[in-house]
Every structure is written in C-alpha cells, then in structure tokens.
C-alpha cells in the first residue's frame, strides 16, 4: 500500500496552487485523470479578474461579484477573494507569468457585469499562460510528483476521516494513503451535450465526495456561456468558446436577421451578467426559429488578429474572418457554481478532505459567477486549501481495503454504456438546461430511476466509474433544481420566473453510500 503526505486530485489552477502551497511541508502527489494539460484552466481565454488597475479597488471588485451572484454570495469568502487576489497574481508574475501590457502598464480589459476594466490577460490564452507558469514552478519542487492518466475510484474513509484514495489505471486498483486529500478536479460540464469543458470534466470530485458522505450544496446553479462557436450539425464533445472579452471590447449580438437584440432584454445590453445574456440568446433563437445568433465584431476598435489570436485562428479554420464576418454563436454549459461544501480554508464536512476551485462550493460565486473570477478563485482558494492541509501532521493508520468486482455488470456492454451516456447528456440539456420546468425535470428524474442499478454496481472499470459519476451529478442537479421553486441567477424556472425572496439561501445535501439517492429530502 503506497503512502505520501498529501494527495492533490487535479492539475488545473486550483490543484497546482494547492500543491504549491502544501509541497514545502511534505511529499505531495498530484493525481490527474488525463495528462497535466487536459483541464479547464488551459482553455480559459478571457483572463483573470483582479483589482490591480489604478482606478480599481478590491471594494469595487467585491460589489460587482456580489451583484452578479444575485444575493447568494458568501461575503466573507468574496472579501478573501478580492483582497488576497492581487498578492496571488503578483506571485504569478514573480514566477514569470507574462500578461499583456500597454507601454509599462498592464492592459486591462472589461467583461460583462464588471464596472471597471480589471481583466488581466495574455492574449486570449490566459489560462494556458497561468498553467504553464504555475505548473513549471510546481514540477521543479523536489517534494512533488505526478500520477497522470489515472482515475480516482473512491476516497478512503476510516473512523470518519478521509485518509487517502483508491486509484485505478488499466483496471488495476491501488490504494494510496495520506495525511490529507485535496479535491481540485474541476467541474462537470460533460453532463450536458453542449458544453465548453474538456472531456475529463465529468464531475468526478463532487461524486467521489458525495458518495463518501460529504455535504454538497448549490447543485442547481450551472452557468451557461452565451457565446460558443456554432458548428452546424456537428456535435464535438466540447464546443469552442468565444470569450466574453470580445463583447467587453465592443462585440454586438445580432439575431439571424442581423438585428441587435440585447438592449431589448437588459439595460447593460451585451455587458449584462452571463445568465441574462444566455437566456436572451436562447429566447431570441426560439423567437426567430434559429439554431444560433450572430456575434458582430466589425466595429471593435482593435487589431482582432493580435488581441484574440486563438479565436481568430479557430474561426478562420471554419471559413469565418472575425474582422468582417458575423460569427454564428449559441449557448453552452460552461461553469458550475455548486459542488462540495467547504469553509473558507477549503475544509469539507469530512475531516482531512479539502476542496478548492470549481469542484468546491463555498458560495463565492453565488447564483451566477462574475466573468473571469474562476481563475482567481482557483488561485486564491487552492493556495488556501494547501496551507490549511499543511497543518495536519499525523499520518493515518493503514485500513483494510475490501475487494471490488471489476467487470462490467451483466446487461451493460461498452456500446450500451455509451448510449446511456449520450442519452443522459441530451436529456440534461433539454430538460434541466437554460430554461427549466417541473414537468421536464420530472421526466429526467424518471429516466434516472432506470439507472439506479448502474450506481449500485461496485467496479474498478474506468469507463463505468465515469458513467456513475455523470449519473450522480445529473441526479443532484435535477433534485436541487426541483427543490428551488424560484428563479435566481443561472437557475431559471419558466414555471416560477420570479425570484422567491423568502426561499432558503443555500440548499445542501449529505448522503451516504447506503442511502438511496433518488428523491432525497433536501
């Protein structure tokens, strides 16, 4: 049985930040399901929101974050985010991160729902720059090692504490013990058939923690990005995002007839919060019976090829010149505000288990994340979780690991498993997506009831483990969405369109392995 001091599950910005913080205190193993570059961080285009401009302050940043969160933000957590953010970003610069400048000053841009220009960027590949810089620093630390292309099958819970995890590679399980486990495995966009997330974003960390008995919260809040490149009938596993920074620089949304429509939906027009823009795009598509709208960049007063090189190149590959052509765009699932419930130090409800980044739900983003706060969240709270975990000194005892059956269960072939996965994702997009109703969500719930046997099957088969996680996350999103009968932020109920101010702030759920998931009492 292997043993280390600290386990970090995930190699995006939150995981790397946690490893950077905890490594000086002991041997640190970073486990990632794909390779170390396959997470969402490297896909982040727009930038990182931070109050470092001379006309900005952490208080202004706080106000914008709270406004976007629609009354559900954890104010204490947001204060930590905006106040510690500049120091953490400066540390990145000191490590060698290069952000765009205009002369000697940083070139800050503006995005939706920000009242100041505070988005620090590296072209339109900011996440890649941050991941490269932070990753190089972490990899050089003598206490850090990486375990790539490895699935975490379960957490090891002993005497109510998390003392490690069981990893699986090529169907072979291996338990690893540690003083603490830090979940930083990212979100769950692959629950939806249309999403901007990498293929590895299947909600594994949330499902692992939930099955182990940790509390989850805010599972009804999925953020849908309003502008992904529309590719016709092609259905890639993840869609190409057209950064919100494009609209921040002056991009205009037009319907299929070329008519600008956002002023009809919100006073901030294209710079309204993401949830408002996504619903407006969705409604305009419905009204005009179109599968997309257009993004018009022709009046943006910048050299687009230089400012947005990744977007320019990708659109050019589809025969679109963003300098003069309308870009066809449509909404897609993008970011998850729910997750494993934590305190401000990243501690979950299970001792020795920590969580940070998109897998965690501290209430930083409330009901709707402010654009470009995600990278800052991972940077600040990943570091905080690492510092908190480092305080644990004692090593756990060695538990006995029960044997687990590895084959696929009877009646489930590889082909059938993939058909179930595809149907699940389509059902979530149609019935528990941008606009929700009780009738549609109950239809989804009825389908989930037919899948309980898959959840009940113990296995070390990686493909089945991933399917189990997708089913678990889909169920949780649906149950939480049914429970919240008012609309708020990214959660919009067509049958309850008004905000219910008397409704509880945050719904939570704790459930054990032996408790039925269907129809839980939230």
The two tokens of residue 25 are 């205190």
pLDDT of residue 39: 61
Q: How far apart are CA 277 and CA 356, in angstroms?
A: 28
Q: How far apart are CA 298 and CA 322, in angstroms?
A: 7
pLDDT of residue 514: 40
Q: Residue 105: is it exposed, middle or buried by C-beta count within 10 angstroms (0-12/13-18/19+)?
A: exposed
Nearest to 348 by CA among 202, 161, 75: 161
Say how far residue 346 (Cα) sits from the centre of its chain.
Answer: 16
The two tokens of residue 507 are 């719904």
Vertex 318 angle, CA 303 and 42, to 5°: 70
From start to end of 25-135, where are the E strands? Answer: 28-31, 48-49, 101-102, 105-106, 119-120
For residue 154, what are the contacts with CB-CB under 8 A and spacing of at least 6?
165, 166, 208, 211, 212
pLDDT of residue 98: 92
**Is 274 in the active site?**
yes
Helix 204-212 and helix 462-483, axial crossing angle in degrees, nearest 10: 80
The two tokens of residue 392 are 């644990």
For residue 384, what are the contacts with CB-CB under 8 A and spacing of at least 6?
21, 80, 84, 344, 345, 346, 356
Annotated domain spans of the chain? 2-221+335-389, 224-333, 414-510
User: Do the domains 224-333 and 414-510 sit in the same CATH topology, yes or no?
Assistant: no
For residue 233, what are the contacts with CB-CB under 8 A and spacing of at least 6?
none
Query: What is the arrangement of strands in the sheet containing 508-510, beginning at the earlier edge strand?
Result: 360-361, 339-341, 215-217, 508-510
123: left (phi over 0), alpha (psi -120 to 50) or beta: left
Tens place of pLDDT for every residue, the chain, 522 residues? 689 999 999 999 999 999 999 999 999 999 999 877 766 666 666 789 999 999 999 999 999 999 999 999 999 999 999 999 999 999 999 999 999 888 888 999 888 889 999 999 887 778 888 999 999 999 999 999 999 999 999 999 988 999 999 999 988 899 999 999 999 999 999 999 999 999 999 999 999 999 999 999 999 999 999 999 998 766 666 789 998 889 988 999 999 999 999 999 999 999 888 889 999 999 999 999 999 999 999 988 888 988 898 899 999 999 999 999 999 999 999 999 999 999 999 999 999 999 999 999 999 999 999 989 999 999 999 999 999 999 987 776 666 665 666 666 667 888 899 999 999 999 999 999 999 999 999 999 999 989 998 998 888 889 999 999 999 999 999 999 999 999 999 999 999 998 877 666 888 988 754 444 444 555
CATH assignment of 224-333, given 3.40.50.2000, 3.90.700.10, 3.40.50.300, 2.60.120.460?
Answer: 3.90.700.10
Nearest to 360 by CA among 226, 188, 504, 487: 188
pLDDT of residue 47: 87
Percentages (nearest 5) of helix, strand, coil residues in the chain: 35, 20, 45
pLDDT of residue 103: 82
pLDDT of residue 518: 47
Nearest to 393 by CA among 2, 6, 1: 6
Nearest to 307 by CA among 246, 250, 252: 246
The two tokens of residue 242 are 């057209």
From start to end of 170-304, where are the E strands? Answer: 172-177, 180-183, 215-217, 222-229, 252-254, 293-296
Helix 414-431 and helix 438-449, axial crossing angle in degrees, nearest 10: 160
For domain 2-221+335-389, say whether CATH 2.40.40.20 is its number.
Answer: no
Please report, for residues 151, 164, 318, 398, the alpha-carbon distance to residue 175 in angstroms, rounded to integers and kept in the order given: 12, 7, 46, 10
Q: How far apart are CA 461 and CA 153, in angstroms?
A: 9
pLDDT of residue 403: 64
Radius of gyration from C-alpha coordinates of the chain: 22
The two tokens of residue 176 are 């690893």
Q: How far apart are CA 5 and CA 390, in angstroms?
A: 9
pLDDT of residue 125: 78
CATH of domain 414-510: 1.20.58.100
Say how far residue 366 (Cα) sits from the centre of its chain.
Answer: 14
Say how far residue 432 (Cα) sits from the centre of its chain.
Answer: 17
Q: How far apart are CA 122 and CA 135, in angstroms?
A: 16
Q: How far apart are CA 355 and CA 362, in angstroms?
A: 9
Residue whose entry in the numeric block shows the structure tokens 């204490």: 76
pLDDT of residue 409: 67
Q: Answer for the pair 274, 241: CB distance below 8 angstroms, yes or no.
A: no
Residue of 110, 118, 128, 274 marked active site = 274
The two tokens of residue 458 are 């113990």
Helix 373-389 and helix 13-22, axial crossing angle in degrees, nearest 10: 30
């Amino acid at each position: 049985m292997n043993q280390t001091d600290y386990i970090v599950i995930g190699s995006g910005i939150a995981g790397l930040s946690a490893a950077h913080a905890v490594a000086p205190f002991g041997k640190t193993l970073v486990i990632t399901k794909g390779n170390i570059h396959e997470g969402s961080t490297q896909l982040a285009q727009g930038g990182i929101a931070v109050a470092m401009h001379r006309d900005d302050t952490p208080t202004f940043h706080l106000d914008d974050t709270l406004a976007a969160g629609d009354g559900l933000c954890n104010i204490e957590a947001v204060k930590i985010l905006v106040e510690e953010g500049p120091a953490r970003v400066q540390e990145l610069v000191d490590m060698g991160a290069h952000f765009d400048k205009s002369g000697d000053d940083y070139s800050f841009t503006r995005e939706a729902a920000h009242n100041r220009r505070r988005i620090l960027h590296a072209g339109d590949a900011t996440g890649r720059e941050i991941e490269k810089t932070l990753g190089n620093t972490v990899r050089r630390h003598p206490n850090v090692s990486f375990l790539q292309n490895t699935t975490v099958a379960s957490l090891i819970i002993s005497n109510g504490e998390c003392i490690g995890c069981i990893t699986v590679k090529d169907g072979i399980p291996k338990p690893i013990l540690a003083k603490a486990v830090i979940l930083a495995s990212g979100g769950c966009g692959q629950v939806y058939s249309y999403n901007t997330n990498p293929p590895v974003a299947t909600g594994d960390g949330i499902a692992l923690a939930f099955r182990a008995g940790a509390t989850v919260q805010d599972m009804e809040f999925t953020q849908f990005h309003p502008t992904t490149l529309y590719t016709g009938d092609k259905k890639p596993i993840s869609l190409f995002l057209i950064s919100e920074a494009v609209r921040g620089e002056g991009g205009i949304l037009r319907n299929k007839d070329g008519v600008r429509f956002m002023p009809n939906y919100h006073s901030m027009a294209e710079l309204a919060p993401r949830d408002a823009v996504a619903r407006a795009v969705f409604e305009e598509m419905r009204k005009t019976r179109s599968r997309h709208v257009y993004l018009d960049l022709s009046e943006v007063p910048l050299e687009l090829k230089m400012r947005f090189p990744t977007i320019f190149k990708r659109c050019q590959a589809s025969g679109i010149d963003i300098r003069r052509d309308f870009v066809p765009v449509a909404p897609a699932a993008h970011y998850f505000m729910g997750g494993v419930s934590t305190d401000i130090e990243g501690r979950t409800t299970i001792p020795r288990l920590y969580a940070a980044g998109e897998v965690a739900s501290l209430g930083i983003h409330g009901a709707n994340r402010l654009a470009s706060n995600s990278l800052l969240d991972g940077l600040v709270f990943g570091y905080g979780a690492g510092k908190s975990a480092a305080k644990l000194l004692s090593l756990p005892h060695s538990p006995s690991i029960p044997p687990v059956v590895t084959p696929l269960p009877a009646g489930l072939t590889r082909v059938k498993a993939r058909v179930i996965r595809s149907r699940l994702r389509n059902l979530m997009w149609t019935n528990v997506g941008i606009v929700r109703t009780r009738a549609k969500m109950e239809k989804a719930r009825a389908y989930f009831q037919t899948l309980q046997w898959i959840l009940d099957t113990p296995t070390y088969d990686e493909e089945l483990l991933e399917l189990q996680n997708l089913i678990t996350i889909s169920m949780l999103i649906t149950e939480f969405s049914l429970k919240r009968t008012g609309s708020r932020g990214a959660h919009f109920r067509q049958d309850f369109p008004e905000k219910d101010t008397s409704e509880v702030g945050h719904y939570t759920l704790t459930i054990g392995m032996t408790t039925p998931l269907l129809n839980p009492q939230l």
